[in-house]
């Protein structure tokens, strides 16, 4: 596997952990994180300047969708592996 892919996987999981920590500390809520990630998702969907192919758009949305799933799982008191989240994203899109 490409080392960059492993680094991106770790970064995504780190952001998920930081997000959960911010919720636990009362800085933000799960709903606020979901809203921010939803806003990012919509911004990618509306971005026509880059004329992305469907597969490139899906690739761009992938980390946002993983973080959305991680946020939903954390809200339910659960955590999964990156592979679990990636599989769920694949099934949901």
Q: How far is CA 73 from CA 12, 45, 56, 70, in A?
A: 15, 24, 26, 5
pLDDT for 76 equals 97
Segment 73-85, tens digit of pLDDT: 999 999 999 999 9
pLDDT for 52 equals 84
User: Are the beta carbons of 41 and 76 closer than 8 angstroms?
Assistant: no
- pTM score, whole prediction: 0.90
């Amino acid at each position: 596997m490409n080392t960059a892919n492993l680094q991106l996987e770790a970064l995504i999981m780190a952001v998920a952990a930081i997000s959960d920590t911010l919720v636990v500390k009362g800085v933000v809520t799960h709903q606020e994180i979901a809203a921010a990630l939803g806003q990012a998702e919509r911004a990618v969907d509306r971005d026509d300047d880059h004329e992305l192919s469907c597969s490139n758009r899906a690739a761009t949305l992938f980390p946002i969708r993983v973080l959305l799933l991680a946020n939903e799982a954390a809200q339910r008191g659960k955590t999964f592996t990156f592979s679990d989240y990636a599989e769920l994203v694949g099934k949901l899109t």
